[in-house]
């Protein structure tokens, strides 16, 4: 079993020597995400535990194999949380997987994504080198910001073994509202509200209903709720709603059609797409269930300043993620070569070309 | 060895200079190409005048096409390019190269568009930080990062340095407040990085570009996020008879679940230096004072200010004042904001440091700085972004006194070493530039520095964009006897946890 940093380093050096590619994996909650990849399993599960957590520093450092539940319950005990509301998509997820996938839940537009909270990492690259980037403090501009580069890299740049993340206090009070409105009206309203000093912390439009969450001081939340109007959702029901949106257990996601995620300008109007939509992040994240072609969806997303990802479904030949411009692809290849010259890590997971 | 070694200073190659000028004036107006000594002199340094170098040529493009053409020309002629914004940087990051072109982006200062509904502004790199908020004010929006130089510094430079400011604990740094960049590689190839959504496909190059100190590409356009202006802001001033008590109060505020809009500490030497200047009414007998600001909705601020005041009292504050109106709030802040000029008033010269430490180490670090101050026989004022652990010790010295500058630099390096030893970093927001190259050898191991060099090569294979900055060559670290080799051990095994 691999338990120390040098165990992992040696394992990677051996894989490099014999030319084995590696599939980095925690609890496998996001096996469905990204392009298919093949290689020997490299499990992070034996490298787990919180290394350092001091609530007044607003920083937690933990090992990659640590279950998110463990991290989140340690934070909750001290009245804190990770602001991005990490999706689990199953019973369990690990810190390493959450960083590699770079996905965020409903609070993302208001509290930041994984990349926004990532302060430092310890990783092993394709040479087997033990590398530390960033640190355990909130403000740090020494060296290129390679910690944030790991968020959403799908494990293709190396094995992240430890990470430090910024924490935030749990909101003192939360209240969720429901309003009946059209998709167009929902986009209009959420963007309008976002331009005012209101304690918004989530929004979701689905099946002609707009759900809004407010978080903060009780007095401020009540005053904002009066201003926004709508029916108050009972607390437990609201919690279930936001968790079901975060983890895709909401009935919207129970469907055999391909599921697309469009990330675009929040004010983009109604899109010309067949199939149903669920809109989050004040209009900036749109989930679409549709059989329409990848090229159609990508074109639409590009036209609205964003990109389209096939979240669930059979990958098109150029992969589930939005193809890169030739100029950016060139840089991606160079970065991949820098960290992983033998192309060991998660080949093809980010883009089907395993040298990327 | 390293690709980022500072090129050796050689006598100006007049033929090369003529060749470059000739090539540039083919597409640039003559007034945009400077090479006479008196014309290029103002560009010899940024706001860290201890490091100076005259550039071979200064080119001042007015639009993106000119930037691209200048880069292509320099690429063809094999000439180094150093980009510069407003020149307010504090680490020598925009110091020119003697055989290179200094690319001033100061004339690219158009605000291209503001989208009030989507809450974004698209601007050229030379636009001043404060000008964005001024232009957005009519929509009741503003750009949140507010480095102290915001009246002068430009957004391109802010991205290059990942600038912070007084309010970044709550509102984030530059990296958290931008969406999209247009940038050109040294070869003149356009990179469109990020997007108008909250994320983009592939690796997070937006984060990589932010804080890259002009080593990777030249930024020609930035799309920033705008935030709604808070309805109200109020500030608590608390005085303490002991620095440790003030440090404890900072921890207590955070532990209570409050993220203040600003949380600053000043020591007694600082308050005494700024008071005659700022007339802020600071209690001068206090060993330390804290300024703690709350902003947001009316109800939220009212609630938070009460809680902050109570925590200050409970933490042993000898006096707690709450700003009663906007004028008083600004008066509380003016002293903090004039700390640097005040240092200039009480001392011939001063040297501003910029380390970050875990807050729990604050009392220890301040005590050690006090000891070092005695050891080096130099006064040191301490101003501190207390909420996020970013220290700005200001070492007071007189450059005309033989040996004082050298003692100051040695003192400064000791402070940075101390920051690393307690688990912090050598720069929180000013960048490495040329100033902290040696300290980078202490903070990073050679394998890590090697990766940084490779990252630069991924964007700039020939090493022609701002070479010699931000990352020391391995050779330099070895010469300094500071090569940190890969150890595989815990990084800070001996830090006390308290």
Condensed to tens digits (0 to 9), the pLDDT of residues B192-223 reads 999 999 999 999 999 999 999 999 999 999 99
Cβ neighbours of A136 in B, within 8 Å: 358, 423
Residue pair B97/B50 in contact (Cβ under 8 Å)? The answer is no
Looking at CATH, the fold of the domain delimited by B232-341 is given as Alpha-Beta Plaits (3.30.70)
Structure tokens belonging to residue B200: 């983009």
Measured in degrees and rounded to the nearest 5, phi and psi for residue A163 equal -145, 145
A316 has a pLDDT exceeding 80: yes
CATH number of B14-104: 3.30.43.10
Q: How far is A72 from chain B (nearest CA, A)?
A: 16
Cβ neighbours of A135 in B, within 8 Å: 356, 423-425
Closest partner CB to A149 (pick from B208, B255, B296): B208
Strands B100-104 and B57-59, how do they pair?
parallel
Closest partner CB to B197 (pick from A6, A125, A307): A307
Q: Do B202 and A332 touch (CB under 8 A)?
A: yes
Q: Is B132 helix (H, G, I), strand (E, B) or coil?
A: helix
CATH number of B348-480: 3.30.70.2740
| Interatomic CA distance for residues B174 and A148, integer angstroms | 14
Whole-number pLDDT of residue B12: 79
| Interatomic CA distance for residues B86 and B108, integer angstroms | 11
Whether A303 and chain B come into contact, CB under 8 Å, resolves to: no
Cβ neighbours of B139 in A, within 8 Å: 195
State the ipTM, two decimals.
Answer: 0.97
| Domain range B111-228, CATH class | alpha beta
Q: How far is B400 from chain A (nearest CA, A)?
A: 31
Q: Do B115 and A267 touch (CB under 8 A)?
A: yes
Residues of chain A above pLDDT 70, percent = 100
Measured in degrees and rounded to the nearest 5, phi and psi for residue B201 equal -75, 150
With residue B441 as reference, give the H or E element that holds it.
helix B437-443
Question: Does the fold of domain B232-341 match that of domain B14-104?
Answer: no
Q: Kindly identify which residue of chain A lies nearest to residue B205, measuring between CA atoms.
A: A149
Q: How far is A162 from chain B (nearest CA, A)?
A: 11
Q: How far is A9 from chain B (nearest CA, A)?
A: 9
A286 has a pLDDT exceeding 60: yes
- Quote the pTM value: 0.95
**Residue B1: pLDDT band with limits 50, 70, 90:** very low
Quickly list H helices, B318-358: 326-337, 339-346
**Residue B2: pLDDT band with limits 50, 70, 90:** very low
Spans of all domains in chain B? 14-104, 111-228, 232-341, 348-480
Whole-number pLDDT of residue B335: 86
**Residue B450: pLDDT band with limits 50, 70, 90:** very high
CB hemisphere CA count around A51 (13 angstroms): 21
Closest partner CB to B196 (pick from A197, A264, A285): A264
Structure tokens belonging to residue A211: 């759900």
Residues linked to residue B142 through DSSP beta bridges, in sequence order: B227
**Residue B495: pLDDT band with limits 50, 70, 90:** very low
Cβ neighbours of A121 in B, within 8 Å: none
Q: Do B254 and A56 touch (CB under 8 A)?
A: yes
Closest partner CB to A137 (pick from B172, B257, B424): B424
Closest partner CB to B205 (pick from A113, A139, A331): A331
Instruction: Please state the rounded mean pLDDT for residues B313-319.
Output: 98
With residue B270 as reference, give the H or E element that holds it.
helix B268-278
| Interatomic CA distance for residues B475 and B483, integer angstroms | 9
Q: Kindly identify which residue of chain B lies nearest to residue A55, measuring between CA atoms.
A: B255
Closest partner CB to B228 (pick from A56, A195, A321): A195
Q: Do A224 and B210 touch (CB under 8 A)?
A: no
Instruction: Please state the rounded mean pLDDT for residues B391-399.
Output: 94
Residue pair B208/A149 in contact (Cβ under 8 Å)? The answer is yes
Residue pair B434/B467 in contact (Cβ under 8 Å)? The answer is no
Whole-number pLDDT of residue B497: 25
**Residue B482: pLDDT band with limits 50, 70, 90:** low
Q: Kindly identify which residue of chain A lies nearest to residue B189, measuring between CA atoms.
A: A327
Whole-number pLDDT of residue B10: 61
Least confident of B31-35, B47-51, B241-245, B283-287: B47-51
Q: How far is B458 from chain A (nearest CA, A)?
A: 5
Whole-number pLDDT of residue B336: 87
């Amino acid at each position: 079993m691999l338990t120390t940093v040098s165990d992992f380093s040696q394992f990677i050096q051996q894989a490099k020597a014999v030319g084995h590619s590696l599939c980095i994996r925690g609890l496998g909650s996001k096996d469905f995400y990204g392009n298919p990849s093949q290689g020997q399993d490299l499990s992070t599960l034996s490298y787990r535990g919180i290394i350092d957590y001091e609530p007044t520093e607003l920083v937690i450092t933990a090992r990659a194999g640590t279950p998110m539940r463990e991290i989140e319950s340690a934070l909750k005990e001290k009245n804190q949380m990770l602001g991005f509301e990490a999706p689990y998509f199953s019973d369990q997820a690990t810190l390493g997987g959450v960083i590699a996938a770079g996905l965020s839940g409903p609070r993302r537009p208001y509290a930041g994504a994984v990349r926004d909270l990532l302060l430092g990492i310890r990783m092993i690259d394709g040479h087997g080198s033990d590398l530390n980037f960033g640190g355990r403090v909130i403000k740090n501009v020494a060296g290129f910001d390679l910690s944030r580069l790991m968020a959403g890299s799908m494990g293709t740049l190396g094995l992240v073994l430890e990470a430090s993340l910024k924490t935030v206090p749990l909101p003192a009070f939360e209240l969720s509202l429901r309003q009946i409105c059209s998709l167009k009206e929902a986009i209009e309203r959420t963007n309008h509200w976002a331009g005012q000093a209101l304690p918004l912390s989530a929004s979701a439009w689905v099946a002609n209903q707009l759900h809004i969450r407010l978080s903060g001081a009780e007095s401020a939340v009540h005053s904002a709720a009066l201003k926004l109007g709508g029916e108050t959702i009972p607390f437990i029901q609201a919690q279930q709603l936001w968790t079901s949106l975060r983890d895709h257990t909401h009935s919207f996601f129970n469907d055999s059609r391909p599921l697309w995620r469009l990330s675009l300008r929040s004010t983009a109007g109604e899109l010309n797409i067949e199939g149903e939509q669920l809109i989050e992040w004040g209009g900036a994240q749109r989930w679409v269930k549709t059989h329409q072609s990848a090229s159609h969806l990508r074109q639409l997303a590009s036209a609205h300043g964003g990109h389209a990802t096939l979240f669930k479904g059979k990958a098109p030949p150029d992969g589930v993620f939005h193809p890169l411009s030739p100029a950016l692809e060139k840089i991606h290849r160079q970065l991949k070569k820098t960290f992983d010259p033998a192309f060991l890590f998660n080949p093809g997971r980010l883009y089907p070309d395993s040298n990327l | 060895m390293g690709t980022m070694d500072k090129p050796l200073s050689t006598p100006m190659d007049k033929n090369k200079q003529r060749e470059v000028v000739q090539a540039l004036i083919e597409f640039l107006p003559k007034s945009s190409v400077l090479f006479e000594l008196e014309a290029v002199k103002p560009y010899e340094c940024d706001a860290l005048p201890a490091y100076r170098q005259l550039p071979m040529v200064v080119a001042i493009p007015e639009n993106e096409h000119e930037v691209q053409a200048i880069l292509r020309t320099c690429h063809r002629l094999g000439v180094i390019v150093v980009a510069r914004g407003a020149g307010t940087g504090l680490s020598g990051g925009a110091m020119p190269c003697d055989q290179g072109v200094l690319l001033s982006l100061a004339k690219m200062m158009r605000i291209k568009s503001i989208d009030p509904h989507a809450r974004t502004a698209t601007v050229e790199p030379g636009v001043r930080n404060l000008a964005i908020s001024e232009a957005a004010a009519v929509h009741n929006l503003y750009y949140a990062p507010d480095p102290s130089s915001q009246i002068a510094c430009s957004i391109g430079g802010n991205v290059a340095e990942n600038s912070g400011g007084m309010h970044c604990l709550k509102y984030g740094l530059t990296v958290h407040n931008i969406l999209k960049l247009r940038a050109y590689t040294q070869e003149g190839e356009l990179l469109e990085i990020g997007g108008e959504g909250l994320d983009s496909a592939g690796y997070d190059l937006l984060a990589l570009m932010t804080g890259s100190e002009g080593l990777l590409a030249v930024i020609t356009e930035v799309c920033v996020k705008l935030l709604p202006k808070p309805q109200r802001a109020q500030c608590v001033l608390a005085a303490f008879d002991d620095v440790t008590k003030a440090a404890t109060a900072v921890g207590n505020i955070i532990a209570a679940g409050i993220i203040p809009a600003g949380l600053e500490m000043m020591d007694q030497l600082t308050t005494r230096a700024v008071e005659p200047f700022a007339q802020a009414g600071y209690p001068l007998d206090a060993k330390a004072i804290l300024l703690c600001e709350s902003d947001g909705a009316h109800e939220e601020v009212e609630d938070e200010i009460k809680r902050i005041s109570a925590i200050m009292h409970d933490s042993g504050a000898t006096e707690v004042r709450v700003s009663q109106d906007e004028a008083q709030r600004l008066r509380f802040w003016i002293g903090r904001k004039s700390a640097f000029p005040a240092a200039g008033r009480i001392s011939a010269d001063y040297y501003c440091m910029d380390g970050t430490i875990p807050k729990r180490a604050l009392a220890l670090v301040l005590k050690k700085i006090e000891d070092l101050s005695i050891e080096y026989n130099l006064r040191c004022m301490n101003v501190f972004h207390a909420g996020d652990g970013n220290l700005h010790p200001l070492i007071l010295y007189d450059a005309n006194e033989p040996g004082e500058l050298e003692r100051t630099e040695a003192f400064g390096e000791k402070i940075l070493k101390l920051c690393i030893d307690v688990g912090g970093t050598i720069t929180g927001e000013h960048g490495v530039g040329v100033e902290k190259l040696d300290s980078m050898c202490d903070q990073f191991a050679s394998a890590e520095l090697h990766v940084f060099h490779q990252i630069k090569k991924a964007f700039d294979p020939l090493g022609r964009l701002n070479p010699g900055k931000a990352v020391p060559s391995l050779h330099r670290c070895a010469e300094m006897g500071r090569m940190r080799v890969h150890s595989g051990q815990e990084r800070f095994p001996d830090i006390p946890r308290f």
